[in-house]
Structures are given as structure tokens and as C-alpha cells.
Amino acid sequence: MTVEAFRIGGDGATRELFSYEEAIRQFVYVELPFDGDGDGRNDLIRVDVIRPRELDGVARVPLIMDPSPYYERLDRHGDRKRYLHDEDRWTSPLTAFPFFYDNYFVPRGYAFAMPDTSGTALSDGFCDIGGRRDIASANAVVDWVNGRAKAYWSRDDRSESNLAYADWCTGAVGAIGKSYDGSLANGMAATGIDGLRTIVPISAISSQYDWYHPYGCLLDGDDADGGWYEPYNFAEYLQSTAHGLLQRFTVSDDGYKALRAGADHERRCYDDGFWGERNYRTHAAGFKASVFLVHGVNDLNVMMNQVAPYWDALGRAGVPRKLWLHQYGHDDPFDIRHDAWVHELNRWFDHWLLGVDNGVMDGPAVSIEDCDGVWHDHDSWPVPGVRDHVFAVHAGVLAGMPDDDGEPTGGPATGGDTASADAAADAANRSVDAVGDSAMTGRTDGPAYTASFRGARIAELTPWSEAYKKHGDRLLVVGAPLERDLHISGTPHVRLRVRLSGGDTNLAVQVIEYGEGNYVRVDPDLSALVPLKETRTCGQSSPDDKPTYPVCAPRRAHDTAHVVTRGWIATAHIASYERFEPVSAGEWLDVNVPVLPTDWTVRAGHRLALQVANTTTRLAEVPLVDVDVDLDSIRLTLPAV
């Protein structure tokens, strides 16, 4: 009797045909071509696999994999790997695979694997944080199922008789994962490895430099170095402690020393060696895998600076791609747009791994959630129809500038009826005193109109109740109410002229919306979702593995102020991220402050505001300096419809 390897249902996606409870659960140790932990033998990577029993020896199946350094450290939606014999994990298969990928896809004719990447959990080696070893340990699984790497049934026997062959696999592999896991998928694709057909990076890093040192700065954190994890102490945190024995610390020049030196914590310089190796988007031209990106515009962990340049690079390279942008934080689409996500992911893997002609690439390439929670499809991102709207400071008000045709590019903030004009005049009168102690004063030794404020590390959001008060530690200019909705889509920019009292510090900006609304609020863990008592089940179950998870709701607050986006620059990197050049104190400087990309609609009747400060609590502490701003120089450019 012929057994079908898969079957397409009426919804255009593969149907359940096989038993999850009866599926084969096994593990292998895949050999890497190097010795990353210095113990004198090549490293072995633990890979846990589950696949349909009914197809064993009958038909080959494609593989979906989620490589991760976290399986020993962190939960997946409240799940952990659970072993048949927890006291001897090295020789034990899993009874439970965390999250839903196995429960959902194995009954549909896929194999699923969870590799412990180099130096973590049950794998040998050294975790070099997105570097060559890290990516190679994930790629080793692709090599194994394509017959290019050896694997063994146990870790202590490397004889020919103990070899494990992936003769059950077609060789077609898809890599998926959120955060670090998705970053590994990006790194895998950057190598151009044969057999990797598609990747689905969720809230993932495309350039490690832009995560560790965004715009030359350090993010806030509570570790000993004053910023978020640096590569060397992050590697130590991830290093395996299996059996209570810490694996060999590599202190050689290519181990922790290399991570510390390459990260360049003090100077934060980009280089083509250390950071170039971890910049996956520069290799887009060599991708052989399609890419389905999913990201939150309010993700303050892996921020939108990981998305826009990556999306552009993929487009220039002609890589088949799809993009979903939601309005939340470091969150999973499983919890945001559940039914649509699971179905689209199913169709995506069916197309790229099984070769099903299901039209998944025929529709719009981009789907974006708006501020009301409604999803809209577009052919491109930034969305079609975007053009630059330029705002400047006029009489203390943030207002639109005319374009070449004499029309105001920030039109919604400039024209209008008598009420709007009165509001603008009122705003101007109040904001003159709000922008600084020396605001709008005539000068003979420099710009005609300047604002001055003292160095401080401030919160990003100034509440509406404080918007028109006098601030000695920031510049805040507010616009008149918008006459029309302003859909911002893409990467804003801020240009201004400043004079600083010190040379190595930060300059930070925020674009703020003032007006009543239900705004997303990200919690300290950087999620914007709240689990409810209601649950949902996705996929088949076994007695030890039930894919049941809380339904989540957005964390929103009715408020009158919201940070639309933010940006900053380390002043020692104004000229180049590759050179550390503290600016000259007391001299006027023209500065382009990069701003995080976003997709957000500021509503009609609401006000736009621009805030400029020395630094914010989003960033690690730096030397504080006093700042003078040439008000006439300020230009806020918003790509908007």
C-alpha cells in the first residue's frame, strides 16, 4: 500500500495525516569540523529530532529546525525540553519538545529538530555569539541531513558502527526562531549553505553590531559593564552547565579574549572583522533561502534598525521575501495574529520545503498592523505613496516646511482653520519658554536663535501635562494639531546643529505624539502582550506534550502621549562608526541623528512633537554635557503618506 507523504486540504495547506503520539523521537550528535572548546577533538552538537513514524523507510520528509542556545536556560511559551531520563540527559530522548512547531507540523509530514548550538546545553564547543562557530553549529544540521557531515547515536562512540544517517530526510530544510534563534537563521542564510530553502526570523538580529552598539551607543542594562550583555559575558551565561560541570572555558586568543576585544566596549567601533562576520545582511546577495520576516515596531529589545536595512538588502539582492510588522514588542505572532499566522506559516513551509504551488508568493509581500489592530496588505515597505515630510521649528512650533512646489510637506501641521491657527499661536507662545533657558534669544556670537539645556539622563516620554512646562534638561517643541492622519512608514531622520560642552557622550531624540489614544505599553521584559486565563491548543498532543498556551491580549493604556519612535547617536561616532573620534567641546557641529524605522499613524487632531536630550534611560550612563541647539537648523524628516 502506498502511503502519502502529505496531502493538501481544502484550505490550501497540508492536512494532518500522521500520529504525533506515535512519532519517532530520537537524538544524534552531529560532528563539527573544528574543536571550539580546545579539548583536543572536534565538537559534537546535540540535535533532538521528531518525525512521522508512518513515513519511516517509506518516504523522505523535509526538516523544520529551531536552533537555539537557550534550551537549557529559557522557556518557550512556558515549555522546556523534557527528557525521558532527566538524570542522564546525554543518552535520553525527549518526551516533550517546547512550543507548537512539532505538534503541528509532524502530523502534516514534516520532521522537526531542536539543535543545542555550540557550547550550550548538551553540545560541545564554545558559543561565540553569532560568530563563525555559532552559525556553523546550526549549519551542521543542514550538512548532516544532506550527507555532508557525520552524526553519531551517542556522544562517546565515534566509530563507523555508531554513525547515524538522515536517510529519512529530503535534504530540504527551513529554519525558524524568535530572537537569538531567528538571528541564527539569518546567519545560516548568510553563508549561502545548500539545502537551506527558507528561513523565518521572528524579532531577530540581522547585524549584531546594531544590537550591541546601536548608533555607536550602549543600551541600558544591569550587568557589570553598564550596558546590555556584551558578547563575552553573554557567552559565559550561555555556556553549558550540563551535569553540573561547566564546559571548558576557552581563554585563548580566539575565545573569550576575542569576544572581549572584538566587542570593543569602550570605543564601540564597527570593523569588518569581528562585527562584519556578524553582519548577516551584507551577505544577502549570496542567500539561497527565501526569508519571511516578522517584527514588532515597538520591540525595544531587537529594534527596527534590524529590519529596514535588512529588508532593503534582500530586495536589492532579489531574495524572495515576505514581511509582517505588528504594533507590539518582543512578541511572537503566534500570540498576536494566531489563526492567520499558523495558516500562513503552514503554506510558507509547504511551498518552500514541499514544492507546493499554493500561491503563497503571489499576493502582497507585506502585511502591517495599524494602530487600531487592523491588518493591511501592501506590495512593498515602506508602503506605496510615501514621501518625505520635513518639519522645522518656526516661532517655537514644530511645523511643516514647503516643498519645491511651495506646498507644505508637513501640511497637516501647517494649514487649517482659525481654531487650528489659534492653537498653533498658543503653542508657540508657551513653547518659547519650554525649550530651554536660552530659548529664542538673539545672539551675535553664533546662531540667531538657540536653545540650551543641561546634560541629563531623562525618560523618553514627556507627558502631555509636562509638554509646555519649562524644561532645563531637554528641548521639546510641539506642533499644532494635525488636520489629517499622517501614516509614517520607513526611517525618519533628524538633522540639527549643536554645541556640546564635552566630546564623548550621546545625543538623543524622540518623536512624540500628543493626543488621547489607547497606546501600546511595553513591560520591563519588553513584551507588549498579557496572557489571559483562556487557552488555545495548536496541533496534536501526547501524554507528555500538550501544545496548550494562554491566549494573549495587547497591553495598552489610555493615555495622552506616546513615543512614536526614537533615535540617538554617540557623539564620538558622528563621523563614522568605524572610528572613535570625540568631538571638540565648544564648537558648533552639524549632526544627523539616526532614528529607528517605524510604521505608525499619527491621528488627525493629535500633535507631533520633537524632543532632544543629552541621553535617556534607554541608554547606559555616559558623561553628561550641556547642549546648545541652533533652532533654525532643526529638520525632522518623516517618510509618510
Exposure string for 596-613, b = 16+ CB within 10 A, e = fewer: bbbbbbbbeebbbbbbbb
Among 301, 91, 45, 37, smallest CA distance to 180 is for 301
Instruction: Phi first, then psi: give them for residue 226, nearest 5 degrees.
Output: 85, -5
Amino acid letter for position 113: A
**Strand 598-602, strand 486-490: pairing:** antiparallel
Instruction: Phi first, then psi: give them for residue 180, nearest 5 degrees.
Output: -55, -40
Q: How many CB atoms lie within 10 A of CB 95?
A: 16
CB proximity list for 438: less than 8 A, separation 6 or greater = 450, 451, 452, 628
**Alpha carbons 595 and 511: distance in angstroms, whole number:** 9
**Alpha carbons 110 and 21: distance in angstroms, whole number:** 14
Distances 245 to 28, 38, 122, 239, 248 between C-alpha atoms, Å: 21, 16, 11, 10, 9
Cβ atoms of residues 254 and 35 within 8 Å: no
Is position 299 annotated as part of the catalytic site? yes
- State the virtual CA torsion across 65, 214, 287, 285 in degrees, nearest 10: 180
- H or E element that contains 326: strand 321-326
Q: 255 is written with which cell numbers?
A: 575565545
DSSP single-letter state for residue 620: -
Q: 295 is written with which cell numbers?
A: 517584527
Q: 77 is written with which cell numbers?
A: 511559551
Cβ atoms of residues 566 and 473 within 8 Å: no
Is position 330 annotated as part of the catalytic site? yes
Amino acid letter for position 312: D
Q: 183 is written with which cell numbers?
A: 538571528
Q: Which of 118, 123, 137, 179 is catalytic?
A: 179
Cβ atoms of residues 329 and 299 within 8 Å: yes
Instruction: Phi first, then psi: give them for residue 298, nearest 5 degrees.
Output: -105, 25
**Alpha carbons 122 and 43: distance in angstroms, whole number:** 11
Q: Which of 295, 330, 471, 487 is catalytic?
A: 330
**Alpha carbons 27 and 25: distance in angstroms, whole number:** 7
Angle ∠(146,281,344) on CA atoms, nearest 5: 65
DSSP 119-145: TSTT--S---SSSHHHHHHHHHHHHHH
Q: Which of 299, 331, 350, 630 is catalytic?
A: 299
Cβ atoms of residues 568 and 615 within 8 Å: yes
Please return the burial class of 526, using the count of CB atoms within 10 Å of its CB with bins 0-12, 13-18 and 19+.
middle
Is position 332 annotated as part of the catalytic site? no
Q: Which residues pair with 196 in a beta bridge?
A: 173
**Alpha carbons 61 and 113: distance in angstroms, whole number:** 12
Q: Which residues pair with 632 in a beta bridge?
A: none
Residues with active-site annotation: 179, 299, 330
